[in-house]
Amino acid sequence: RPRIGVLALQGDVREHLAALREAGADAVGVRRPAELDDVQGLVIPGGESTTIDKLTKIFELREPLLKRISEGLPVYGSCAGMIMLADEIRDIAPGQESLGGLDIVVRRNAFGRQVESFETDLDVQGLDGGPFRAVFIRAPWVEAVGPDVEVLASVATEAGERAVAVRQGNLLATSFHPEISGDHRVHRLFAEMVVATQ
Ligand code: GLN
């Protein structure tokens, strides 16, 4: 069983821990550098990216996170977690920084101007068994992707097609929240990515 951490500073940590366990992983909260050393993969949950950014600095996790990401740690970011993994953020808050790693440009609260939250059935590349019920809550979208980024799912918006699930190497990100839909296929996909690196 892969040992997968959930960054437990803010956001829907418990839901990810439960979904990872359902997906067959040993799941643990990560709040200190020593706990980060101990995991083979990491989930950065949804919540508020500005708060998660501040807390990673206060808890002295920013440098260790940057180091492990650069060494190839598999990381899955959902919603605010996607923002944390993006190399570039649009509608960024003053002083906000991401960790980066994913060669994407995300726009924070992108759907918010049209609608705060919504659900839709998405075809996600790499997930067998039909469409995935995706829940979006003040979600970012992906505005641009680099050449090494695979787009796994997109939605049609007034602004055109926007990517909402992407992968680049060991980094996976979704605009939506798979931890609250009762469908654990995204967590299973991530657990398989972690196993593949061992
Ligand atoms: N709007 C939040 C942010 O900017 C993300 C929302 C979420 O994670 N559900 O971080």
187 is known as an active-site residue: no
Q: How many Cβ atoms are within 10 Å of 198's Cβ, its own excluded? A: 9
Give the pLDDT of residue 84.
98
**pLDDT classification of 58: cutoffs 50, 70, 90:** very high
179 is known as an active-site residue: yes
Q: How many Cβ atoms are within 10 Å of 137's Cβ, its own excluded? A: 19
| Residue range 20-39, pLDDT digits in tens | 999 999 999 999 999 999 99
79 is known as an active-site residue: yes
Q: Which atom of ligand 1 is nearest to the CA of 52?
A: 10
End-to-end alpha-carbon separation of the chain, Å? Answer: 11
Q: Which atom of ligand 1 is nearest to the CA of 46?
A: 8
Tell me which of 11-15, 21-25, 53-57, 158-162 is least confident. Answer: 158-162
The finding on whether 46 has its CB within 6 A of some atom of ligand 1 is yes
Closest Cα to residue 173, out of 156, 150, 194, 197? 150
Confidence (pTM): 0.97
108 is an annotated ligand-binding site residue: yes
**pLDDT classification of 104: cutoffs 50, 70, 90:** very high
Name the class of domain 3-196. Answer: alpha beta
From 177, 184, 187, 192, the catalytic residue: 177
63 is an annotated ligand-binding site residue: no
The predicted model gives 78-102 an average pLDDT of 98
ipTM field: 0.95
Query: What are the angstrom distances between the C-alpha of 195 and each of 51, 74, 167, 170?
Result: 30, 10, 16, 11
The finding on whether 54 has its CB within 6 A of some atom of ligand 1 is no
